[in-house]
C-alpha cells in the first residue's frame, strides 16, 4: 500500500505491507514556511504540497526499494483537513491509481492516527481505548474492531494541540507551540501554578479554551513570571486531564489496553504519565514512536489496508472531505 498524507502542513508518503509492516516513510515538513505567520496558512500549505508531493512519493518508493507498479493499492487522506491541501494528495493518489490500474483508497485522518499504534506494536489488535490528540481534534474512542468506533468523548471547544499552539503564541514562543512548550517544560516546575483541570470529573468530553484563558490571565497579572514554570504548569494541567480521562474510559468500557496518537502524543510529559498511570492500573499501554504520532503517511497506508479489505476501493469520483467526521 502506498499512502499519501497532505491534510495540513506535512507532505508525506509511505509504503506499508499488510497494514503492519512499515517499509518506508517520508515526511517533508513545512513548519518553517508557516512559522512567520504564527500558524498554518492554507494557501502556503497547498502550494508547498504541490511543490513537494511528487518528490516525497518518489522518495518513499525508492526507500522501500519498490517500483510504482509493485504497489497493490494507493491511498490518500481525504479528510478532515484543509481543502486545498487535501486536494493535492488525493489528486496525486487518484492519478497514480489511474496510471497503474490499482485501487484508490480514501482514508479519514483521525482513523489514520489510531492505526499508528498498530504499526508500532505488530501484536496489537482491537479492542482498545485510544486518545487521538492533535492540532484540530481531541477524541477519546473505543476501537471495538477494525472500522468499529465508539466516540466516548471529544473536545467541546479547542483541541489539545490548539491549546499548546495558542499558549505558545501568547508567550511569544513561535509555531508550532507543542514541541517548544514540551522542551521548556523540562526546565520548569509543574506545580508552580495550579492551573484549572477543566471538566476533570465531568464525563469524557474535554475543554481547553478556559485553561488557555487562565494562562493568559495569570501571565498578565504576574509579568515577572518564569516562562518555563508556566509551560510546565500548563502542560501538567493538559496531561492530567487527558490521562485521567483515558484511564477512566478504559475502565468504563471494560477494556484493558490504552493507546495514544496524534501530534500531542509526541509530548514527553503525556508519554511518561500515560505509561505510569497505565502500569499502575494494570493496563497494557501502547505509545507509538514520535514519528508515528505526528502527521505521517504510514498511518494512512496502514488504515487503508483494513479499509480496502472491508469496504473495497473508494470511487475515483469521490472528492475531498474537509469536514469529515469519524
Q: Which parts of this chain interact with ligand KG4 (CB under 6 A)?
A: 8, 134-136, 161, 164-165, 176-179, 182, 262-264, 266-267, 294-295
Hey, is 193 helix, strand or coil? coil
User: According to the binding rule CB under 5 A, does residue 10 interact with Zn ion?
Assistant: no
Burial code (b: 16+ CB inside 10 Å, e: under 16) for 19-33 equals: bbebbbbbbbbbeee
> Which of 187, 209, 185 shows the shortest CA–CA distance to 196?
209
Distance CA 154, CA 157 (A): 9
Binding string, residues 105-144; x marks residues near Zn ion by CB under 5 A: -----------------------------x----------
Minimum CB distance to ligand KG4 smaller for 85 or for 249: 85
C-alpha grid cell, residue 66: 519498490
| Residue 218 CB-half CA count within 13 A | 21
Q: Do residues 257 and 287 make contact, with C-beta atoms less than 8 angstroms apart?
A: no
Partner interacting with residue 19 (select from ligand KG4, Zn ion, none; CB below 5-8 Å by kind): none
Stretch that binds Zn ion, among 99-107, 122-130, 189-197, 294-302 (CB under 5 A): 294-302
Partner interacting with residue 164 (select from ligand KG4, Zn ion, none; CB below 5-8 Å by kind): ligand KG4
Q: For 104, phi and psi rounded to 5 degrees?
A: -105, 140
Partner interacting with residue 5 (select from Zn ion, ligand KG4, none; CB below 5-8 Å by kind): none
Distance CA 308, CA 315 (A): 12
What is the closest distance, in whole angstroms, from the C-beta atom of residue 46 to Zn ion in the complex? 17
User: According to the binding rule CB under 5 A, does residue 295 interact with Zn ion?
Assistant: yes
User: According to the binding rule CB under 5 A, does residue 165 interact with Zn ion?
Assistant: no
Alpha helices by DSSP H, the chain: 31-34, 42-64, 83-100, 109-120, 160-170, 177-185, 209-221, 227-253, 268-280, 290-293, 298-311
Q: Which of residues 262-281 bind Zn ion (CB under 5 A)?
A: none
Partner interacting with residue 136 (select from Zn ion, ligand KG4, none; CB below 5-8 Å by kind): ligand KG4
Minimum CB distance to Zn ion smaller for 6 or for 134: 134
Which residues in this chain contact Zn ion in the complex, by CB under 5 A? Answer: 134, 295
Amino acid at each position: 500500500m502506498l499512502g499519501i498524507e497532505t491534510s495540513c502542513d506535512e507532505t508525506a508518503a509511505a509504503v506499508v505491507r499488510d497494514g503492519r509492516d512499515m517499509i518506508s516513510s517520508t515526511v517533508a515538513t513545512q513548519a518553517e514556511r508557516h512559522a512567520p505567520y504564527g500558524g498554518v496558512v492554507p494557501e502556503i500549505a497547498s502550494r508547498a504540497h504541490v511543490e513537494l508531493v511528487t518528490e516525497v512519493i518518489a522518495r518513499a518508493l525508492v526507500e522501500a526499494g519498490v517500483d510504482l507498479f509493485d504497489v497493490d493499492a494507493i491511498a490518500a487522506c481525504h479528510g478532515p483537513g484543509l481543502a486545498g491541501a487535501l486536494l493535492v494528495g488525493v489528486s496525486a493518489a487518484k492519478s497514480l491509481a489511474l496510471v497503474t490500474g490499482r485501487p484508490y483508497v480514501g482514508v479519514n485522518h483521525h482513523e489514520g492516527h489510531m492505526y499508528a499504534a498498530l504499526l508500532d506494536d505488530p501484536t496489537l489488535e482491537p479492542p482498545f481505548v485510544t486518545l487521538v490528540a492533535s492540532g484540530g481534534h481531541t477524541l477519546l474512542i473505543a476501537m471495538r474492531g477494525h472500522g468499529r468506533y465508539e466516540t466516548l468523548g471529544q473536545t467541546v471547544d479547542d483541541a489539545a494541540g490548539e491549546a499548546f499552539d495558542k499558549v505558545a503564541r501568547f508567550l511569544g514562543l513561535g509555531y508550532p507551540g507543542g514541541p517548544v512548550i514540551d522542551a521548556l517544560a523540562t526546565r520548569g516546575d509543574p506545580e508552580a501554578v495550579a492551573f484549572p483541570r477543566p471538566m476533570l470529573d465531568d464525563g469524557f468530553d474535554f475543554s481547553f479554551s478556559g485553561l488557555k484563558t487562565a494562562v493568559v490571565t495569570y501571565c498578565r497579572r504576574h509579568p515577572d513570571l518564569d516562562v518555563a514554570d508556566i509551560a510546565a504548569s500548563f502542560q501538567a494541567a493538559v496531561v492530567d486531564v487527558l490521562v485521567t480521562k483515558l484511564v477512566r474510559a478504559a475502565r468504563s468500557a471494560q477494556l484493558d489496553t490504552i493507546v495514544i496518537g496524534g501530534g500531542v502524543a509526541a509530548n514527553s510529559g503525556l508519554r511518561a504519565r500515560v505509561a505510569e498511570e497505565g502500569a499502575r492500573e494494570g493496563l497494557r499501554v501502547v505509545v507509538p514512536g514520535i514519528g508515528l504520532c505526528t502527521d505521517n503517511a504510514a498511518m494512512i497506508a496502514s488504515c487503508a489496508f483494513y479499509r480496502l479489505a472491508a469496504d473495497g476501493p473508494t470511487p475515483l469520483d469521490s472528492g475531498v472531505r474537509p469536514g469529515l467526521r469519524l
